Amino acid sequence: MSRIAYVNGRYVPQAAAALNVEDRGTQFADGVYEVMAVVGGRLIDEVPHLDRLRRSLAEIEMRPSMAAGALRAILRETIARNRLVDGIVYLQINRGVAPRAHAFPAQDLAPSTVITVKHMGLPRDPDTVAGVAVITQPDIRWKRVDVKTVGLLANCMAKSRATEAGAYEAWLVDGDGDVTEGSSTNAWIVDRDGSVVTRPLGNDILPGITRASVLALARGHGFTVVERPFTVAEAKSAREAFLTGTTAFVKPIVRIDDAVIGNGHPGLATRALLGHYLDYVAGQGAAA
């Protein structure tokens, strides 16, 4: 079945979906986006995703393209038209169409809205999730990566370097030698004391929705959780390392650059957190 996209009020075959060539999202990356997991035909963490979307719009001084209720209805209709059971929904809102000029247009533009889906298998059993490798790369992104904009060229370059190196992800490193996050995921370690560690929120990392859910699950299941920076050296000597994201869920890391993490296999804490997260999303997917 060919996929159906929503573009500015119309449901069209994805192959025929298009935007005006002077859309500011195309010319200036002047837009924001969200990626939401779908399990059992239902959106996971819909409310926090849409809350983050509203924050991103406000931070770049863009008005919403429609009322929240209408957007939720369109998301569900797009899922239904694509018969999406497990996978992701991609939502992008651009500032709109105007003659090319760097400054925001004086007139109030009609924002462009695009929604697409992707069918994909999602993990079901922590014991079947293999560990992955990451490489480290300098963090060369702009200074407001807490805003989920479509300006992702630096992220794409880092991810490409990882792919070329046979790794799953690139961990980005700031000028102090601390890990900020991955090119498309949040970064975590389990330190020598057994604490689950991840960088605190700020302008230098994205406030990941999966990150927030895993933090709450970890605390709720008795893990010691610390939000603090950690260096590449500490990560390489940690008991465990893992990453989180909408499509990655909780993914064990078994190698950082040339350093083997722990015993080279997914760690007990990471597998436990993945199990708790899988239960969490399954519960939302099964909810009425």
3 state SS of 132: strand
Which residues, 6 or more positions from 209, have their beta carbon under 8 angstroms from its beta carbon? 45, 48, 49, 52, 246
DSSP line for 196-259: EEEPPPSTTS---HHHHHHHHHHHHTT--EEE---BHHHHHTSSEEEEEETTTEEEEEEEETTE
Q: Which among 210, 195, 209, 200 is positioned nearest to 249, based on CA atoms?
A: 210
Q: Phi and psi of 152, rounded to 5°?
A: -115, 20
Token pair 């209709």: residue: 77
Catalytic: which of 148, 159, 236, 251?
Answer: 148
Q: Which of 175, 168, 247 is nearest to 204 (CA)?
A: 175
Instruction: Specify whether 159 is catalytic.
Output: no
Catalytic residue annotation: 148
